[in-house]
Amino acid sequence: MISARTRVFGLIGHPVRHSLSPEMYNELFRRYGLDAVYVAFDVSPDHAERVADAVRTLDLVGINLTVPFKELVLPELDHMTVAAQEAGAVNVVIHVGGTLTGYNTDGEGLVRYLEANDLPVAGRRVVILGAGGAGRAVASALLDRGAAGVCLLNRTLSRAIRAVQALENRFGHVDLDARPLTREAFASVAAQADLVVNCTAGGGADLVASLDIGPLRPGITWVDINYWMDRPPQMDACAAHGLHFHTGLGMLVHQGALAFELFTGHPVEAPVLEAIVRSSHGLATDQGGGA
């Protein structure tokens, strides 16, 4: 029962109606017996500068952020973790007494998923499609786990260059590269890739689908973090080419477990979240052995 004492958490983004987060977190609140509720707020990007004030004014305890607010909210926060600073984006904000602290669990969520599925990161060369907040967070986390090199491809090349420059402050000893997200640029780096991670938003699906994956070596891994797509771009092509394809569901549940602990102090295992999501939506197992 929702009461006047119920603590409110939520997701802020645009669009958000596809999100699995409300089902995931509300079921966890129920299981832990917490007087809390999680709701999705579809907010126009035109109101980005008012998001932080809304969190304070409405006394929201914690929020997740998705596109386009992961970066737009940064100037309004009081504190950020190192991971969030390196990513240049936050996907979790905790509110305590008017003070907002930003975290980024995206990159760590993906790395934990890969490790849980015996997909080592150390020594791997990674191609990341998209250099926004998610792409930068993923790059930082992979490099932190010992990736041998990262190449960021982005539709706006200057954004990829800025992301690489930020990463060089800590990871200047490894191979970092920035290129435009084009068929030609992808073809030039594909043969050396051990892992490809698509971090572009849904609007980039047609461009990603147009890439020629022929130069990729059979047996490598392709991850698409857009878990809400029924048939992510290149999913069928990867299967035909002998690549291991993983949707973003694994990343979602691992970063969600990290966020839930930040929200409530209660640790939760990612498989518990995965079972909740699969049960409520009838989702099938990823191709390529993913969770």
Is position 164 annotated as part of the catalytic site?
no
SS3 242: coil
Residues linked to residue 8 through DSSP beta bridges, in sequence order: 37
Tell me the two tokens of residue 191: 């043969």
- Rounded to whole angstroms, the maximal C-alpha distance in the chain is 58
- Residue 146's CB is within 10 A of a number of other CB atoms, namely 12
Instruction: Record the tokens describing residue 223, joined without a space.
Output: 């991850």
Number of H helices, E strands in the chain: 12, 12
* Per annotation, catalytic residue among 70, 136, 159, 246: 70
d(CA 108, CA 142): 8
DSSP state of 78: S
Question: Which sequence positions are flagged as catalytic?
Answer: 70
